[in-house]
Amino acid sequence: MESVLSKYENQITIFADYLEEFPDTDELVWILGKQHLLKTEKSKLLSDISARLWFTYRRKFSPIGGTGPSSDAGWGCMLRCGQMMLAQALICRHLGRDWNWEKQKEQPKEYQRILQCFLDRKDCCYSIHQMAQMGVGEGKSIGEWFGPNTVAQVLKKLALFDEWNSLAVYVSMDNTVVIEDIKKMCRTLSLSADTPAERPLESLTASTQSKGPSACCTAWKPLLLIVPLRLGINQINPVYVDAFKECFKMPQSLGALGGKPNNAYYFIGFLGDPGLIPGLGTSPGEGNGSPFQYSCLENPTEPGDELIFLDPHTTQTFVDTEENGTVDDQTFHCLQPPQRMNILNLDPSVALGFFCKEEKDFDSWCSLVQKEILKENLRMFELVQKHPSHWPPFVPPAKPEVTTTGAEFIDSTEQLEEFDLEEDFEILSI
């Protein structure tokens, strides 16, 4: 009993330090599409941040591939960030953005099932094992660091095996999001009991049509949209800062993957309003120096200049399911002070994430992009209605014969490698 109380008291101390990290100002903090007033809603802000699933380096899991590494410390940070972005999409899909986590409180069964998808076991669909092995098909050896685009491609491939979550994963190509392709991929047919439950829209046959409108209806496959970008050459171009921050304000936001080479973070929001950034872009050398400037450093960043992120660079011991089938989740939520960094110190290679559970969410996202992103003279990315004529035809990625449900997954490396060899990378990159 005494040890439990001691642990609880330590958590209270951590919470107090956490809240003191933020400056006492009237500014807004945006976290994945939700705003918090810093001066009066710090507790609510803390709760929102700590509710995000936090994946870090782990040690003492089964060797990857049977003979590979048993820890991802030093190389797996971008994979962990990709896991965090995907986990947020699954939370939104099954529990909703407003769902909140409380320590030692019983959670919905969907929450436990989501968590089990990411355990460090080869039979979990988004484990470090599956991501590292699928990365081989993207030219990455097991134990090699991933970039934002590589982890996006890996998640897209792995999602094909995940029937429970049933996500459509679209990774943009050439800084361009194509509305027509996304709707082709996400619009499916929910058919009657004597036909398969879900098919692409274009697969509707004459025989199905003859059954009349009662035989089927159009459905929307929940969309995970990832937009890999390069926002400069050696450092982020200040002209993109406003548009980059606007993405965190969108209700569909899943944050961003980025950081610097070999040092990845999962960015979930920012402090302050874009309009409050003083002298933005007036100094070409702005942002040089230390790659990461925190508020506690000698030269703190101005309010409004700071991104908030979850840091995977903590090595924890592998956690498995318990005898009752649940997972002890206390190490999967970050209760430490939130990290912040100057946005101009961000490496220009990033990947934005968005989740659209229904078609109306995607339509709303398109409208927001038109209003907030495409208004800039130098656009962060493009949104077009039709598939570009000079691109290869868009073919929605199809699931191989091997199937999975929930947290179960294929455990054959040979099947993964065969899948990688058979795919046309150019088509999948669209």
Residue 105, classed as helix, strand or coil, is coil
pLDDT: which is higher, 278 or 266: 266
| 100: Cα separation from own chain's centroid | 18
Q: Which among 183, 169, 175, 176 has a CA at the least distance from the CA of 355?
A: 169
Q: Cβ(46)–Cβ(283) under 8 Å?
A: no
Tens-place pLDDT, residues 85-132: 999 999 999 999 999 998 878 889 999 999 999 999 999 999 999 999
Residue scoring higher pLDDT (16 or 291): 16
Q: How many CA atoms lie within 13 A of 228 on its CB side?
A: 18
pLDDT by residue (tens digit) across 353-380?
Answer: 999 999 999 999 999 999 999 987 789 9
Sorting pLDDT into bands at 50, 70 and 90, what band is 269?
A: very high
Would the pTM count as exceeding 0.85?
no
Provide the pLDDT for residue 282: 31
Cα separation, 353 vs 89, in Å, equals: 9
pLDDT in the model for residue 141: 94
* pLDDT tens digits, one per residue of 300-357: 344 457 999 999 999 999 999 888 888 999 999 998 778 899 999 999 999 999 999 9
Q: What pLDDT shows up at residue 386?
A: 96
Look at residue 37 in the predicted model and tell me its pLDDT: 87
Q: Give the mean pLDDT of 425-429.
A: 36
Q: Give the range among 23-27, 163-167, 395-399, 414-418 with minimum mean pLDDT.
A: 414-418
313 is catalytic: yes
Give me the percent of the chain exceeding a pLDDT of 70: 73
191: confidence class by pLDDT, cuts 50, 70, 90: low
**Residue 262: its pLDDT value, please?**
80
Query: In the structure, what pLDDT confidence band is assigned to residue 165 with cuts at 50, 70 and 90?
Result: very high
Residue 130 class from Cβ within 10 Å (0-12 exposed, 13-18 middle, 19+ buried)?
buried
How far apart, in whole angstroms, are the C-alpha atoms of residue 76 and residue 263?
9
Residue 298, pLDDT > 80, answer no
Check 77, 81, 186, 216 and give the catalytic one.
77
- How far apart CA 264 and CA 146 sit, in angstroms, is 9
Q: 174 an active-site residue?
A: no
Which of residues 79 and 430 earns the better pLDDT score?
79
| H/E element, 19 | helix 2-20
Percent of the chain at pLDDT > 90 equals 59
Contact status, residue 197 vs residue 209, Cβ threshold 8 Å:
no
Which is the catalytic residue, given 123, 313, 387, 420?
313
Kindly compute the dihedral angle of the four CA atoms of residues 20, 38, 236, 264, in this order, to the nearest 10 degrees. Answer: 50
Res 76: pLDDT: 95
Annotated active-site residue in 181, 311, 347, 361: 311
